Amino acid sequence: GERRDPSGAGQEADGGGGPGGGAGPGLKAELKFLESIFDKDHERFRIVSWKLDELHCQFVLLPPPPGSGPQPPPPLTIHCNITESYPSSSPIWFVESDDPNLTSVLERLEDIKKSNTLLLQQLKRLICDLCRLYNLPQHPDVEMLDQPLPAGQNGTTEEVTSEEEEEEDMGEDIEDLDHYDMKEEEPVDGKKSEDEGIEKENLAILEKIRKNQRQDHLNGAVSGSVQASDRLMKELRDIYRSQSYKTGIYSVELVNDSLYEWHVKLLKVDPDSPLHSDLQVLKEKEGVEYILLNFSFKDNFPFDPPFVRVVSPVLTGGYVLGGGALCMELLTKQGWSSAYSIESVIMQINATLVKGKARVQFGANKNQYNLARAQQSYKSLVQIHEKNGKCSLYFRPRLHSILGFDIWQ
């Protein structure tokens, strides 16, 4: 299968701002300032790594006194995704825990008044609230977050060095990304509202989702989780304002108005590919000229990947497995990152189908693609990835003998 980095950001930059989001030099200055206070060895709060669109932190709980026996609890892992419209849009925070108290702590961060140092102010509130929650003394370093940013960190003096670092971080990924851009670059505008650039009909869909969520909440019939719903709303907004969506490369429709299940139609593929020719024939024969994908999301998204399968038409090649599942490492737990955007995943699937020489299987039994078979193939794929670290048609006969059935049929 294929593995690339749909965030367009290379691997996580340890302590260095890798490429990614577009919120400008002010954000970079904030992130560097944060890292200078809360390094990887800080006794209470640690910035493990950062990029311009993502922050990975740990909150350290006090170890037990010497000789008390049990091991200290592991640090709380906290993720922060920063949108390109920061600081006019708040960062999105996630914590790897089901504790409702922690969810409440993160929700309160939304109440902080937007400013040019919004991230610093949110982190100050976060650390103080976590100390209160766990009955720990407030750490004096938190007060440093109220200081103005150091003059040298205005994002200009270090720009050249930073760009060189970013090129190194991209390294191996550049050749993989030469046929299309993995992430849309957007102009940065501090006053840009989160709805700017979205068509009226799509704004109506977003508003309908918000109303449904409020109603479900009032009825006590909440589905999903706060973190997954917030992130999926962000993903949908980003898609609605993206050029790839607006120019008709793909479309997105919510199944039964659910944020957690999407129908994605791939409307345009590489015009020089056999798949493109097949879709033209399909249009003449059946009046359909797209590939229909089904995306389903779990409550713990974005920490688990979506489950993606081809619904129609039946394809051969293109890394499509039995039942319609996809042989792509980025859709497995090992290959997934919470930083990946769904738009980038859609574009990656589009490119992978073409690269894998997918063809429409005319006259095939349309019932062979279904959820149960796709899930079975996906489980087998995960086992193969865990054993071999890769999935390739080269291994097909060997896999058939190991598993006792062919996951490509």
Distances (CA, A) of 301 to 220, 296, 297: 21, 10, 6
Distances (CA, A) of 298 to 232, 352, 405: 11, 24, 28
Q: Which residues contact 339 (CB under 8 A, 6 or more apart)?
A: 7, 9, 20, 51, 53, 54, 81
Residue in the structure block whose two tokens are 């798949």: 275
Which amino acid is residue 122, in one-letter code? Q
DSSP letter (8 states) at residue 103:
H
Sign of torsion over alpha carbons 175, 178, 182, 185: positive
DSSP letter (8 states) at residue 71:
P
**Whole-angstrom Cα distance, residue 209 to residue 258?**
8
Q: How many residues does the chain have?
A: 409
Percentages (nearest 5) of helix, strand, coil residues in the chain: 45, 15, 45
End-to-end Cα separation, the chain, in angstroms = 16
**Whole-angstrom Cα distance, residue 126 to residue 94?**
12
Buried b (16+ CB within 10 A) or exposed e, 303-323: bebbbbbbbbbbbebbbbbbb
Which amino acid is residue 169, in one-letter code? D
Please answer whether residues 369 and 314 qualify as being in contact, where contact means their C-beta atoms are separated by less than 8 angstroms.
yes
The reply to whether 327 belongs to the active site is: yes
Residue 330: closest CA among 315, 321, 340: 340
Catalytic residue among 57, 80, 327, 391: 327
Please answer whether residues 269 and 353 qualify as being in contact, where contact means their C-beta atoms are separated by less than 8 angstroms.
yes
**Other Cβ atoms closer than 10 A to 110:** 12
Positions annotated as catalytic residues are 327
